[in-house]
Amino acid sequence: MKLFVYHTPELTPTDLLPDCAVVIDVLRATTTIATALDAGAEAVHAFSNIEELIRQSNSWSTEKRLRAGERGGEKVEGFDLDNSPLACTPEVVKGKRLFLTTTNGTRALQRVEKSPQVITAAQINRRAAVNYLLETQPKTVWMVGSGWQGDYSVEDTACAGAIAQSIFQQSAVPQLELFGNDEVIGAISLYQQWQENLLNVFRLCSHGQRLLGLDGDEDLKYCSQTDILDILPIQREPGVLVKY
Ligand code: MLT
């Protein structure tokens, strides 16, 4: 297995694809996707485009579908939910299809959706992502951070580092063989620096600050927890994620 980290969709190569893509948007899209599936949502349909989401969700009954999403961190007008993972309780999402659009996370997913295997990861389900990679042993793995409108986001790269560190610790593969680009080394160093203190760095970083401005401290606390859900979202068809 060879691991690569790309900080943003824009930095992700366009001329080839990995055997497995791991899409990461810790604040908050991939945390929300994992939480919704864990709470019993049937599937999450991810869209970067609001109009396309509305068009496709129209073919599902209102009892069966939930429209969720944000722009700039705030709920899209007329939608049922915003992008807070805390809204995805079993009472709200069980048995439903979540149609989700977000500023960056859904765009990152779209960037690699043609890869043979696509999973999503966040800090809360890191172990499930690691276990899947160790079990399936894809030859090339790209961990793609969502960033913010083309800029780097520290929380996504730290999560990529958490996954890479755990794979290194659990596999017998030498570092030289396992690490595909310098970003992997940087991501592991970043995670090692902040691993005991993820909430602190989430409160400092730019998207954390944006969410704090929207009263999002409870979201930051939730998203900063490690390995609390044993669930892995996997792409069943482009843009549609289900429980593995
Ligand atoms: C995104 O996709 O940019 C994020 O999930 C935004 C958010 O925190 O809702």
Q: Please provide the distance, in angstroms rounded to a whole number, between the alpha carbons at the two ends of the chain.
A: 21
Single-letter code of the amino acid located at 165: Q
Spell out a b/e string for 69-93, using b for 16 or more CB atoms within 10 Å of the CB, else e.
Answer: bbeebebbeebbbbbbbbbbeeebb
Query: By the 8 A CB rule, do 146 and 26 touch?
Result: no
Single-letter code of the amino acid located at 196: E
Rounded to whole angstroms, the Cα distance separating 226 from 195 reads: 9
Rounded to whole angstroms, the Cα distance separating 167 from 178 reads: 9
Largest CA distance in the chain: 52
Q: How confident is the model at residue 93, as a pLDDT?
A: 98
pLDDT exceeds 90 at position 73: no
CA of 71 to the centre of ligand 1 (A): 8
For 122-134, what is each residue's pLDDT tens digit? 999 999 999 999 9
CA of 235 to the centre of ligand 1 (A): 19
Q: How confident is the model at residue 118, as a pLDDT?
A: 98
pLDDT tier for residue 224 given thresholds of 50, 70 and 90: very high
Q: How confident is the model at residue 174, as a pLDDT?
A: 96
**H or E segment and range at residue 234:** strand 233-237
- Look at residue 21 and give its three-state secondary structure: strand
For 144-189, what is each residue's pLDDT tens digit? 999 999 999 999 999 999 999 999 999 989 999 999 999 999 999 9
* Mean pLDDT score, 34-51: 97
pLDDT exceeds 90 at position 72: no
Q: How confident is the model at residue 172, as a pLDDT?
A: 87
Q: Is the CB of 102 under 6 A from ligand 1?
A: yes
Query: By the 8 A CB rule, do 165 and 192 touch?
Result: yes
Nearest Cα neighbor of 5 from 105, 106, 142 is 142
Share of the chain above pLDDT 90, in %: 98
Residue with tokens 């996954």: 163
Q: Is the CB of 27 under 6 A from ligand 1?
A: yes
The pair of three-digit structure tokens given for residue 207, joined into one six-digit string: 């998207």
Q: Is the CB of 153 under 6 A from ligand 1?
A: no
Q: Is the CB of 83 under 6 A from ligand 1?
A: yes
Q: Is the CB of 103 under 6 A from ligand 1?
A: yes
- Look at residue 11 and give its three-state secondary structure: helix
For 56-71, what is each residue's pLDDT tens digit? 999 999 999 999 999 9
pLDDT exceeds 90 at position 119: yes
Q: Given the CA of residue 28, which atom of ligand 1 is nearest to it?
A: 5
Q: Given the CA of residue 30, which atom of ligand 1 is nearest to it?
A: 5
Residue from 31, 98, 207, 211 whose mutation best tests the ligand 1 pocket (most atoms within 8 A of CB): 207
Residue with tokens 């992502």: 129
pLDDT exceeds 90 at position 29: yes
Q: How confident is the model at residue 125, as a pLDDT?
A: 98
pLDDT tier for residue 114 given thresholds of 50, 70 and 90: very high
Q: What is the DSSP string of 95-133?
A: TPEEEEE-SSHHHHHHHHTTSSEEEEE-GGGHHHHHHHH
Q: Is the CB of 30 under 6 A from ligand 1?
A: no
Rounded to whole angstroms, the Cα distance separating 99 from 111 reads: 18
Nearest Cα neighbor of 66 from 48, 49, 91 is 91
